[in-house]
Each structure stands twice: as structure tokens, then as C-alpha cells.
Amino acid sequence: MKINILGAATTRFGELWETSPRALAREAMSHALKNADLKPQQVDALFVGNMLAGILGNQGNLGSFFAEELGVSVPAFHIEGACASGGLALHNAINSILAGQHKTVMVLGIEKMTDFNQEDITSGLMAAGSDEERQAGATFAGIYALMAQAYMQQYNVSEELLSSVAVKNHYHGSLNTKAQFQNIITIADVMKSTRIADPLKLLDCSPISDGASAVIISSENIGDVSNPVSITASEVATDTLALYQRESFATLSAVTRAASKAYSKANITPSDIDVAEIHDCFSIAEVIATEDLRFSKRGEGAKDIAEGKYTLGKGKIITNPSGGLKACGHPVGATGIKQIVEITEQLRGQAGSRQVKGARIGLTHNVGGSGAVAVIHILQT
Amino acid sequence: MKINILGAATTRFGELWETSPRALAREAMSHALKNADLKPQQVDALFVGNMLAGILGNQGNLGSFFAEELGVSVPAFHIEGACASGGLALHNAINSILAGQHKTVMVLGIEKMTDFNQEDITSGLMAAGSDEERQAGATFAGIYALMAQAYMQQYNVSEELLSSVAVKNHYHGSLNTKAQFQNIITIADVMKSTRIADPLKLLDCSPISDGASAVIISSENIGDVSNPVSITASEVATDTLALYQRESFATLSAVTRAASKAYSKANITPSDIDVAEIHDCFSIAEVIATEDLRFSKRGEGAKDIAEGKYTLGKGKIITNPSGGLKACGHPVGATGIKQIVEITEQLRGQAGSRQVKGARIGLTHNVGGSGAVAVIHILQT
């Protein structure tokens, strides 16, 4: 059975002080319906990816909550898996179609973070971590900093080289009108930005963001079928919550396992990928992902990024054309779905000034915690 | 494809001060594995139903969290839908098998509530409600009290008649060694118990509980196959979060719709059911469910319960042989899975002194919020 993406839309990402979760969801879902040329009554079920509405806003039951905004009393589900909540929601939505339970399903990723104070957000995000890490006072910046230190030592990589991730993603973000940050930055800008958790600096870190993204997937050809994109693999793997329980800090085993299965299921190799959205919550995350996804050799990810191998107009595989989590923004539950929206627009040839020419095969890489869960999707025209 | 229940187990429900969520999960999952005669390595994926770990304990990423306790890095998912989280987790687990993604899946329902103070729990539970209800200071006891008032007025039903729900369920609970309350009570006991939200009294309300329940489902016949039970329908429906937006307070539309679809999918009628676990969070909830499931005629649910039509040793359809939420306890995320464990034991003929003789077809009825989401499962030998 073929899973087609019928519609895809995202709100702007950013500090959206004047809007509510309900309004964000309405905007993303109504634009996805318009994009697909469908009515709400043609949607059989709703899957919602969200991490923090319960912890920060005391709102649960999010399936029913957002089904109200869709305006139809369909079966509705809330899937949570930290920053991978969006990708995991899509995975379960795909299963519901393959299972024969539904034909056409809306998947909403959403997060409203900026309404809360910084301390609560930092604490809330640590819900993705382990007891031990929380009790030790670790933050995710701190945890990824440990990974960066281990990686830099193991492969003799400099902070300057690491900085090239943010430089590339800000360049791509400058071409995306939906991005939270649309300014071009330099390696010098990254290097002189505030140190957050050594060696990570402010411009190595993705921001706190609001946003919602929605896709409509279906086993049927209904609505506007002029731009067919299909999902040919959806794979999930998990690992320990805590870093200290892992053999290496310089790779995420959940990513390598999920990616291997996804490549095999879609019957492609890493070099077949034209465009990928990568979970660059911190610059080191994108470097490691570039290697875990087998785009770059071990230890060469940062160098390859710095050399433009993944930059629009220069490289062969373009990573994070949306600007990634760093520049486009990271409303955690929305991120996994925004990645799908971006790849869909790329494969349809509708990505405007950030279009990857001739893109036919795309990948999304969505991670929860410091690699406790990974979701890989492969999309093809 | 047939979905078989290979293993089923539950911890004791109650105020389990000396145990942790991890220990509860380990107990439920290891006993389910033992019950199925399987090893953790034979499990392909884990689905977790939980409502409050994030809100009360700041722990998210629960798929990966509990996969650690299972001891295998399988794909893992956390499904949240208030008090229906357990049933919804099972529904998504079934879809993952029907989709061909997995063969054998563990489903864990878990909640640890008593570690937190009453105010936080009451506030946390309202995460299942609507903004308006929360802002008005409503509690779930208050919301179900409104339903009770509407129902009692519409059908001229007395408080005494309503009390018979708790009397029946405590009688059943007295036969269940896993139940939080194993004491028999009378209508007089209910009538003289503290008024919580008129007309609901303390003994009309399910308690705050800790507990974990686990089932292993599979498309394969592996492990111990001497007691086959299959899931023949798994249906979900949603409704508005808030009561005031509904046409009637005396029925839950999500239940009638999910049940209709489930009966049709399993190709049975309500009178074919031998045993059912019902979401009796408050006595009025069981009365309305008894009618929404079409066991009793409209307005006659309470009378039928009082007359023993659903009581062990007396009735034809036995409801809540476990003691239900009222007597067995209501660790919210565990409830939907405990219902499956109970029906599995009943259909296997392993329910001991609370065995429903000759039970061959069972139903579970799991509700989130005040009826914003309903999940119906039908199990058959």
C-alpha cells in the first residue's frame, strides 16, 4: 500500500506571543487541508505530536483537544516522545492506514513554548532525560556539550569546524520566510557568541520556539493529486535515556539502527538522498547525524559541512534547507512534522529560493532526548 | 490477521508507597512475559499508556524510559489520552501489528499517583478537561456530578439506585486479590459517605491509585498458546472536551459511536457479551455506559444494576468483575490495560473466585476525560 502526502503546511516558527496553541493548530491544519484541496470531513483520524503542553500548560487529552479545532469528532491520538513527538505521531498515523483502520489521516505537530518562563522550559525539556541527569542538574545543552567534547577529542575537530553547521543553517534559513531566524551569520559570529556549555556557544544551540505544522497522508488519491509525494519508509529505534549508559558519545545508536532499516525498506542507499532535514538541536548533533546517516565518513562530518558538501547550490545532498532547528526554530513537538513539510515542498519543486534542484528522494531525521529515540522517514516522488 | 493475547499481568493496585514507576513497570512486564512464556528479546516494540508522569513527575520520553526496564532497545511509544491512555496505547499497538511493522508487541499501562499531593493530583487530572472547565474551578467529580444530576432528573432515578454501582463493584473487588479495596459495602454505606460533589458521595468515586498492567499481543502463535484469546475489535471515537458543548449530559456520544463500530467489526450484538470491564470513574459513569453499550435500555441502567443483572452469580452480562475503577482502583494510565488483563483471565477461565462461568466474549470500555475520547475493545476465545 502506498502512503501519499496529500497536503502539507506549517505556520511561521518564532516567538509568537500573540497566538494560542488552538490558533496555531487551526492555521497549520486549515492550510494543510487547503494545500490538499480537502475538507475536514474527509479526514478519518488525527494524530498529534506534542511534548510540553501537559508539563508547562497542564493541558492533556490533546487528541480530543485538537480534534475540536479540526472540527470533526474523529479518532484522535496524542503521541509523546520528547523532541521526536512529531515524527512518532507520523509513524503511528502511517501504521493506522497500513492497518486498514483509516484511509486519510491528519498529523499535527505543535508546541507553544515562549509563554512560559525560561527556568520552567529548561526544566520541562529535561523531562526527556534520565533521573540521574536531572538530579545532577544537567541540561540538554550540557549533555550535548559532553558529546561535542568526546567527538572533538576522538576526531581532532576544532570549535571553528563545528561552527560551520550554524553558518550553513542560517544561510538556508535566510531563504525561508517561515524561519525564526533569517539572518546570515559567520564562523566569527558563532565563535564570539556567549558560551552556554563548553564547547557549545549560543549560536550552536537551537532556540525556544512556537509553531505548528501539519501533513495529511492517505492511501487514496483524493483532492489535489498534481504533486505526488510518497512515504516509502518510517522507522523508529530507541536507546538508553542517559548518555552515561552508552558505549560511545560520538554516535547515536538509535539513529544508525533506524536509518539502516529505513534505507533497506525504501531500497535505497544514503547516496541516493537528494535532500534531508536533520535534527540539529545543537551543532554537534548535525555533525554526528551526518555520519550516522552515512552521508559523511566517521570524523569527517564537520569538515564536509564546512566545505559546503551539504550547502544549497554547492553540495550533492542538501541538509536542512529549511534552516534546520537552529535557524528555522525548534517548537519541539512540531519539528518532526515541519521536516516532512519541508521535504514535501522540496520534492514537489515548490521550495522557491531554497529549492534543491531536481530533488526526488528526501529523508527526515527526528531525535528525542540525547538520542533515546530516533525516527527516520524517507519520502520519494 | 488475528491479534492474539499471549500474556497478561497486573500489579496490585493501591497506595503503593514503597515502589517506583520503574519497579511497577518491571513487575507488570516481567509477569506478562512469564505468563506468555516469552523472553524480552521476543518483543518487537513497546507501547506505553500514561497520563501524569510528565505533569506530576516531569518525566517524559516514556517509550524509551520503560524500554530500558524491558531491557531491549525496541521501537517504543508513549500514547496519552487522559484516563483512556491505556486503551489508546493498545489500539496503536494493534495497528502496528496489522500494518506489518511488528509481530509481537508489549503494551504497558502505568500510573504512580500517590507520591504527589492531593491538590497537584486534582489539578493534574484536570489536564483532561477543557480550558473553560479548569478556569471555572471544576473538578472531574464536579463534572460527573452535573451528568448525574441531569441523568437523575431526566429518568427519575434516586441516589440510592445510583449507589448500587459501588455496592456491586465492591462485592466483585472483594473477590480480587489485586484490588485496592476488597471490602463489601452497602447502599447505606454509600449514602452516608462524605458528599464530594452533589449527588456524588465518596463511595461513588474511584480512588487515587498506583499500579501497572501489561499485555503482550501478537500475530503469531509463540510461547504458551494453551489459552488463546483474540482481540476482534479495537475502536476509538472522540467528542468535545467540555460538557457544555454537548447536546445531552446523559449519554457519551464517543462511547455509542466507538461501541457501534466495535460490535459491527466483531460481528456481534451487545447481548453476545458475557463479561465487560466498564470505566466507572464515578457511579454515574457506569450507569450511562451500561446504556451507551446497549446492555440496558435508556433510563434503566441503575435499576438493572440494582436488580443484580450485572452481578457475578446473578446476571447474564457481568460488568466489572475486577471491581472496576471504584474497587480495583484507578491508576489512570494503567486502567485501560488492567481491563484487558481482567477480560483475558475471564475468557481463559483463570479468574478464580470471580470467574464468570463459560465466558467466551468480553468487552472493555475505557474513557478519557468526561467522554472526550472512548476506546472499546472486544475480546473472544
Q: Could you say which DSSP state residue A282 is in?
A: B
Closest CA to A162 of A174, A173, A147, A175: A147
- Which residues of chain A does B73 touch, with a Cβ-Cβ cutoff of 8 Å? 237-240, 253-254, 257
CA distance A239 to chain B (A): 5
Q: Are residues B239 and A62, on separate chains, in Cβ contact within 8 Å?
A: no
Nearest to A373 among B63, B91, B257 (CB): B63
Q: Are residues B73 and A369, on separate chains, in Cβ contact within 8 Å?
A: no
Architecture of domain B3-117+210-218: 3-Layer(aba) Sandwich (3.40)
Question: pLDDT 10s per residue in chain B (381 long)?
Answer: 899 999 999 999 999 999 999 999 999 999 999 999 999 999 999 999 999 999 999 999 999 999 999 999 999 999 999 999 999 999 999 999 999 999 999 999 999 999 999 899 999 999 999 989 999 999 999 999 999 999 999 999 999 999 999 999 999 999 999 999 999 999 999 999 999 999 999 999 999 999 999 999 999 989 888 888 999 999 999 999 999 999 999 999 999 999 999 999 999 999 999 999 999 999 999 999 999 999 999 999 999 999 999 999 999 999 999 999 999 999 999 999 999 999 999 999 999 999 999 999 999 999 999 999 999 999 999
ipTM of this complex prediction, to 2 decimal places: 0.96
Nearest to A76 among B95, B101, B238 (CB): B238
d(CA B358, CA B369): 34
Note if B83 is an active site residue: yes
Note if B205 is an active site residue: no
Angle at the Cα of A197 from the Cα atoms of A191 and A200, rounded to 5 degrees? 35
CA distance B68 to chain A (A): 6
Q: Are B279 and B287 in contact (CB under 8 A)?
A: no
Choosing from B91, B102, B170, B330, the catalytic residue is B330
In chain B, domain spans? 3-117+210-218, 138-208+229-380
Which residue in chain A is spatially nearest to B94 when comparing CA positions?
Answer: A99
Q: Which CATH number fits domain A138-206+228-380: 3.40.50.720, 3.40.47.10, 3.10.20.30, 3.30.420.40?
A: 3.40.47.10
The whole-number pLDDT of residue B223 equals 86
DSSP H stretches of helix in chain B: 21-36, 53-57, 62-70, 85-98, 118-125, 131-135, 140-155, 159-173, 187-192, 253-266, 283-292, 301-306, 324-328, 332-348
Q: Are residues A75 and B128, on separate chains, in Cβ contact within 8 Å?
A: no
Mean pLDDT over each residue of chain B, to the nearest integer: 97
Q: Are residues A55 and B51, on separate chains, in Cβ contact within 8 Å?
A: no
Nearest to B240 among A68, A74, A254 (CB): A68
Q: Are residues B94 and A99, on separate chains, in Cβ contact within 8 Å?
A: yes
Q: Are strands A195-197 and A210-218 parallel, antiparallel or unpaired?
A: unpaired
Q: Are residues B77 and A129, on separate chains, in Cβ contact within 8 Å?
A: no
Q: Do domains A3-117+210-218 and A138-206+228-380 have the same CATH topology?
A: yes
- Which residues of chain B does A65 touch, with a Cβ-Cβ cutoff of 8 Å? 241, 372
Name, in order, each residue with C-beta under 8 angstroms of B117's C-beta and a sequence gap of 6 or more. Answer: none
Closest CA to B379 of B352, B350, B323, B340: B340
Which residue in chain A is spatially nearest to B79 when comparing CA positions?
Answer: A79
Residue B352 burial (C-beta neighbours within 10 Å; 0-12, 13-18, 19+):
exposed
Mutate to test the interface with A, among B22, B43, B44, B61 (most CBs of A within 10 A): B61
Specify the pTM: 0.97
Q: Are residues B134 and A257, on separate chains, in Cβ contact within 8 Å?
A: no
Angle at the Cα of B283 from the Cα atoms of B281 and B286, rounded to 5 degrees? 75
Which residue in chain A is spatially nearest to B88 when comparing CA positions?
Answer: A77
Mutate to test the interface with B, among A52, A66, A85, A95 (most CBs of B within 10 A): A95
Name, in order, each residue with C-beta under 8 angstroms of A23's C-beta and a sequence gap of 6 or more. Answer: none
CATH number assigned to the domain covering B138-208+229-380: 3.40.47.10
Q: Are residues B60 and A127, on separate chains, in Cβ contact within 8 Å?
A: yes
Name, in order, each residue with C-beta under 8 angstroms of A164's C-beta and a sequence gap of 6 or more. Answer: A187, A302, A305, A306
Which residue in chain B is spatially nearest to A133 when comparing CA positions?
Answer: B59
| SS3 state of residue A361 | strand
| SS3 state of residue B93 | helix
**Is the peptide bond prior to A199 cis by the omega test (within 30 degrees of 0)?**
yes
Choosing from B83, B205, B281, B328, the catalytic residue is B83
d(CA B171, CA A259): 53
Nearest to A99 among B65, B99, B131 (CB): B99
Question: pLDDT 10s per residue in chain A (381 long)?
Answer: 899 999 999 999 999 999 999 999 999 999 999 999 999 999 999 999 999 999 999 999 999 999 999 999 999 999 999 999 999 999 999 999 999 999 999 999 999 999 999 899 999 999 999 989 999 999 999 999 999 999 999 999 999 999 999 999 999 999 999 999 999 999 999 999 999 999 999 999 999 999 999 999 999 988 888 888 999 999 999 999 999 999 999 999 999 999 999 999 999 999 999 999 999 999 999 999 999 999 999 999 999 999 999 999 999 999 999 999 999 999 999 999 999 999 999 999 999 999 999 999 999 999 999 999 999 999 999
Q: Are residues A77 and B92, on separate chains, in Cβ contact within 8 Å?
A: yes
